[in-house]
Amino acid sequence: MKTQAFSMTAQAAGRARVVLGAALFAVAIAAFSAAGARTAAAQPMECTGPFRQCAIDVGAKCTREPDGKQLMTYYDSPGNVMIFERCVGEVFEKAGKPNPYKPAPQKPTSGQ
């Protein structure tokens, strides 16, 4: 009898593992589906705004998120990051803003 009771307990535990595994799998599928739905919801569009030329320079593709934000995506081909950062920095400087890609100027120390 004890062997049979143990067998039933092991069988019940096996079922619980299957149910738990299926539940975790369903949660994972839902998470990936939500991420995929968000990506799929982004609408392809022409790149616009002050960084339009930067996007063109690196062959970026632009999409618009449901919340209205524009996303630029480009391949990390050799030189693309440097080209994009240089272009974005120039846009900032032309607008009278500090270039986010240049180090802040060093202030002389009081002892010099």
- Give pLDDT tens digits for 38-95: 555 677 889 999 999 999 999 999 999 999 899 999 998 899 999 999 999 999 999 9
* Alpha-carbon distance values, 92 to 54, 62, 88, 111 (Å): 12, 20, 6, 33
What pLDDT is attached to residue 111? 59
Predicted structure pTM score: 0.55
* Alpha-carbon distance values, 47 to 41, 52, 56, 71 (Å): 17, 5, 8, 9
What pLDDT is attached to residue 75? 93
